[in-house]
Amino acid sequence: MAAKTKFRGSFTALVTPFKNGALDEAAFRSLVNWQISEGTNGLVPVGTTGESPTLSHDEHKKVVEWCIAEAKGRVPVVAGAGSNSTKEAVELSQHAEKAGADAVLVVTPYYNKPTQEGMYQHFKAINDAIGIPIIIYNIPPRSVIDMSVDTMKRLWELKNIAGVKDATASMVRVSQQRAAMGEDFNQLSGEDATILGYMAHGGHGCISVTSNVAPRLCSEFQAAWAKGDHATALRLHDKLMPLHNNLFIESNPAPIKYAMSLLGKLDETLRLPMVPVSEPTRVAVRSAMVHAGLIN
């Protein structure tokens, strides 16, 4: 039986709060509850936005466990479990399954630049090691490699490959993937600014950075789109667009952590080599939050 998914709507790529150099468990659990109360449809801990590259394995696993425990089954949890080491990705995926995650998000291996066959074997090894759905995370700007539609189609034949978080920013790719894999292949955007076009091409939702700070607006956008109320969706998209842009002036998650600190949700603390954003970016982020009606 294939472990497929029907994830729809706004999924938040959660930040990881820190305090005095350590994980801030209280702030993280509070964020999970706030996100759910604001209408977020699903949670994605320890991805890039969660600063997974600078978390120890022990910390990574704790964040996954806290998210699942706090969500209490109210929304799906898609645990980040990627690595450029297949062995490490298998271990993180097995932990996520044991902890009770609904699915895992696995990035294409960065830095070592595998071929299409190497990517296929990487994901097949993870597929063979677990029994929950796998969402492929295709993000060429960060991983350098781009998984082809043909490789995705091969992987789609495996029992646990369920869909893609597509951060190519290509509208064409959504339609190509629909043509190759069909409607059951779960397509989630990983690019906030292009979400309107992504949905128009047949996407199912978004794994969003912006929804960390604007969960209700992102959820309302998805709900309007699902109802076919495209005028409302466009209005909400226009309201969110400055945020979609300005939260990426500097490398994520520095801008989003600043934005969330303005709401009093967490300390603006990052782990090196990430540093707090510059003053011009602060001005731009604050302006976008005013435009969205999040602050005065």
The catalytic residue positions are 137, 165
Secondary structure of residue 208 in the 3-state scheme: strand
Neighbours of 202 (CB within 10 A): 13
CA angle 12, 14, 16 (to 5 degrees): 175
Tell whether residue 49 is among the known ligand binding residues. yes
Question: What strands lie across the sheet with 9-13, from one edge to the other?
Answer: 42-44, 9-13, 205-208, 186-189, 161-166, 134-138, 103-107, 78-80
Q: What are phi and psi of 25, to 5 degrees?
A: -60, -40
Ranges assigned E (strand) in the chain: 9-13, 18-19, 22-23, 42-44, 78-80, 103-107, 134-138, 161-166, 186-189, 205-208
**DSSP H/E element including 188:** strand 186-189
Tell whether residue 256 is among the known ligand binding residues. no
Neighbours of 174 (CB within 10 A): 23
Structure-token pair, residue 158: 């495996």
Q: Which residues are annotated as a binding site for pyruvate?
A: 49, 207
Q: Which residues are annotated as a binding site?
A: 49, 207
